[in-house]
Structure 1
């Protein structure tokens, strides 16, 4: 008699064990959420994975609620964020009254709620410098692992010849995130985190591993051919070099060497794309159709904002009326203008203040030498993302909100403790 064992049984057992673990300790669920958010395994483009991701968030929130009811933990708000989030969230909900397309409005509301939940889950899950340092390790390792698996999968799909390997420079790499620009934005945000792992790690083997990780992740920005990513990482380097040179620290070499390597390896095709991009902005000569279209969308979003400066046209609804300006309506590829056109000043002011306060909060803990590097990394990572969203419409991208939460932890919870 042959006994058939379904291959789903181990999966069911593993999932059940994971559910039990998350219910027992909500912080396990938060770590899973962070990993999925940065690697985008539960990303916006894949319907099934996205809804599984929502289930994990809900399960983690349920576990946190149980912990609160048991009296083992007290939910904490973020003083600098609470009122701003309340204003922004309330108007986002109410903007449905003036929205033309309620399906777009509801979809963005769902993304907003998800971002708010993740923000507070992370904030209530970690409170010590050593926990943040460990979180940095998990984030960087997750991105490195997911990227290297995707990279070798891409190479494996090519035949091993000089021509096909050279085609890597014409294939835009996006890791597990699907969109190369989204991927480059995420990498720009975590490079400073990886840099801190290099400088703070005491064990030689691990230090070497983080150096390799940084080099590889930097190379993937080259392969992504993302102008957004290159601009964001360039601003990060300028900001970082200024701060490190001012302090005359030897760690500056960890930033200079990757820059030199990246400049050497960037293919001519990318510089051609950048030159066309610059010329499209300045004179329109050799106009890049993508750039021209984006400029049209930006002007359209600005026009919509100027016509509806207070209330906007409803969350997510710029896309609904963009057809009046262009034959290919889509988001305007600028988060700030996207929010301005959708929610007017009622939404833009609290949103921009939220980003500003997120950037300033870690400054409070930079006076503490034990967590100064962690604070610098989060501020620098946020700066890179703030630059990237000048070219992308991603107001609720989860890695951005996770960094905001970490910034709040460093600025509000951590005062005087020992180095990780």
Structure 2
């Protein structure tokens, strides 16, 4: 047995045992010692794909095609990886080089067309694949999924390696098990969320002339209006610290983290309904991407406005920055939880957005943004301190102003509220998923 055959046999055994890391190391070592060989690269590409590293897997299979450009297995595997990298047009160009009567051409094309929004073409390809191979249950399942606009992420079964060298060693599709499967699934979903995050950034900001500046302009205008109203018309002084604008800022930042995150997440499904036609994308992925973007935006705005304050001579140095980060993280979880629950309520009651709009106005006046609860009458204060938004505002100020520790401040209460609300929101999303309308 030659070195190539022996190496391929060992690699095949490692793949069968799901030792993908060892297979990658062996293939890499073989390439360093003997030069790149297409069948070895093909197996390394499959191992990388199993571990979720589709970028490197795609680079390997492209190198395979440079060495052996007419092997159908390599072309089919390359097309499936192009789809995994969300490049359906490139996948369809690769499939044009495969023998047309190969049922896998239609099978893979049925996964490419939905990414281009061509669901009728996807169903037609899936139907042709079933006609060419009617006893293949996976093909029929794929067709059923496309007809219902449901299903799981499509999986392509590679054929065999070594065809160009006269070596026939079967390489079947290996399904990860246990923790390996969980790790692969997690990496796939993280890539989905990352792609959705980039899409949200482009959708929410790039189509506006002000773009990212609006996220900074809005709180600055808000602060200016509040400051001018209370300082010029009512001659108010800051209840804490020496600067009225800084006091209002410490109330607005946690309040906006909650309400902006909740609003963005609430509108996530309605704004991206067509994406749910893609099997890999679930409602939770869309909501999480929106929440992450809101968190990053609010943190960036907080830092930028703090720097602007310092540039104009207003000291904006907090007494305990770690407390501020803890508050903002907890407030984000609370806002995310509210948004998840309300995304289901919007599907059930179309007028819920208007209800939430009115609730935010009430919360604005009940959350201590331009006052401290200590100055309120006891009978009113005893009611207000149960408001989580007021708790977050005063908790934030306790980390900003040295010595400010209200006796009713209970971080455990708001943290508990955040996680209980998140659990309830996830339960509502799970139970209410059938009410989420998928756009045809």
* Higher alpha-carbon Rg: 2
If the length of structure 2 is used for normalisation, what is the TM-score?
A: 0.27
Q: Which has the higher contact order (CA 8 A, sep 6+)?
A: 1
